[in-house]
Structure 1
Amino acid sequence: MTIAAIVKPDWISWDSKTSTGTTIRYTYGLHRRCSSLTGTCDHFPQYEDCHGPGRAFCSLWRSVGFLMNFSAVIEFATLVAFAVILFGGQQKRATGWKVLGPLLGLVGLAEVAGMGIVAYLYNHDDRFFPGWRLDTSWILCTVSWSLLVLDAVGIVSAAFFVPSEGDYELIPDRR
């Protein structure tokens, strides 16, 4: 979901019908802005968006892009850690939650921050007049961080409340 939210240019969108019944649609993604009038997607934010009175918008929007890309990288690290913990034996499973829980929490926190910044810009930036709406990518981000946080809570809770796999101690190596 995180990668789809990053790639899909549908964080904030605007739709309107013309008198002829044609639908005009503008969408903002983290790295592209699309228009149904031109049928193209342009790099976003552009130079003009980042100079003058709109500098704050540009900085915040780019911060969301960074946070979401950072989240995707940490999610990959989390998947690797999860595989190592699952296939690493009883000892790795017994202690792996200490790595996995914080990683999931970190990704969730970064995504919450990105989602919150987009919601703030949607509510406070003048370019988003009535008729604009938070769209599919924003929803994907919201669902993603919600599931990540639930996973983190579930894994940490299981570590405390589920009995251990076996009640034996490891035999020390004779080296």
Structure 2
Amino acid sequence: MGVSLLAYVVTFFIFCINYVFTLCAVIFPKWLTFVTPVPFYMETNYGLFKLCRSMTRECRPFPSSEHGDCQEDGFCELWRAAAAGMVIATILGGLTLFGILATMCSERRKRSQAWAPLSFMFLIYAIPQAFSMGIIAYLFNTSATFYMGTRYNFSFVLSIISWCLAVILAVILSLVGIMSPPDYSYQRI
């Protein structure tokens, strides 16, 4: 029997939600946030590609050597590597969605054996996200760019949820594929 169409449909919808998390993490500039203490409220949001301040209500490219963001050795290179990792994950996620759709539209025999490449695609999709999340966490803890009181925001959390969910999907789909009985075990009457 292999993996059923229902399992792929459920996987597709869960992965669609997962992919939206990744897109939100890339689009919204809310990886790190610094809020100034009272009496003057100002929120600074650091995104993968831009920095936004609530006081001026404007965003600028981040990191930018023109604004002095790259004075610390390796900061800009690491931040851009994290951004590139998330862009690569977005591309791989689109390919994975296409792979799941192609699997759902294929014949039963091919569909029953597609769990292995799809599980591999989920893992390949999760690796650049984990890499990006690790770089941002490293810079958050070691860089002098971020002031005391800077905290993680929802784009960072969405990235963590996304790559963890992708790994969980890979494991569950692999277990279903391994533990389901093969097609030849059922005999027609």
Could you state the TM-score of these two structures normalised by the residue count of structure 2? 0.82
The match for 1:5 is: 25
Task: Write out per-residue CA displacement over residues 41-94 of structure 1, whole angstroms, 9 at most, x where no aligned residue.
Answer: 11111124565x424010000001110000010001000100111120112212
The match for 1:137 is: 155
- The question of whether the paired residues in 1 share the 8 Å contact of 2:69 and 2:145 is answered with no
State the distance in 1 between where 2:58 and 2:183 align.
56
Q: Specify every segment of 5 or more residues in structure 1 that has no aligned partner in the other structure, as ranges.
A: 170-175
State the distance in 2 between where 1:4 and 1:109 align.
18
RMSD: 1.8
The match for 1:155 is: 173
Q: For residue 104 of structure 1, report the CA deviation from its aligned partner.
A: 0.4
- The question of whether the paired residues in 2 share the 8 Å contact of 1:97 and 1:159 is answered with yes
The match for 1:111 is: 129
State the distance in 2 between where 1:4 and 1:55 align.
29
State the distance in 2 between where 1:167 and 1:87 align.
24
Q: Specify every segment of 5 or more residues in structure 2 that has no aligned partner in the other structure, as ranges.
A: 1-20
Q: For residue 164 of structure 1, report the CA deviation from its aligned partner.
A: 3.1
- What is the letter of the counterpart of residue 92 of structure 1? K
State the distance in 1 between where 2:132 and 2:165 align.
16
Q: Indicate which of 35, 57, 60 corresponds to 1:15.
A: 35
Q: For residue 107 of structure 1, report the CA deviation from its aligned partner.
A: 1.0
State the distance in 1 between where 2:101 and 2:182 align.
19
User: Is 2:79 the counterpart of 1:58?
Assistant: no
Q: Across the two proteins, how many residue pairs are aligned to each other?
A: 166
Identity of aligned residues (%): 28
Deviates more, 1:37-46 or 1:60-69: 37-46
SS of corresponding position for 1:126: coil
- The question of whether the paired residues in 1 share the 8 Å contact of 2:62 and 2:69 is answered with no
- What is the letter of the counterpart of residue 163 of structure 1? P
State the distance in 2 between where 1:163 and 1:67 align.
38
State the distance in 2 between where 1:25 and 1:81 align.
41
- The question of whether the paired residues in 1 share the 8 Å contact of 2:51 and 2:59 is answered with yes
Structure number with higher relative contact order (C-alpha < 8 Å, ≥ 6 residues apart): 2
Q: For residue 167 of structure 1, report the CA deviation from its aligned partner.
A: 4.1
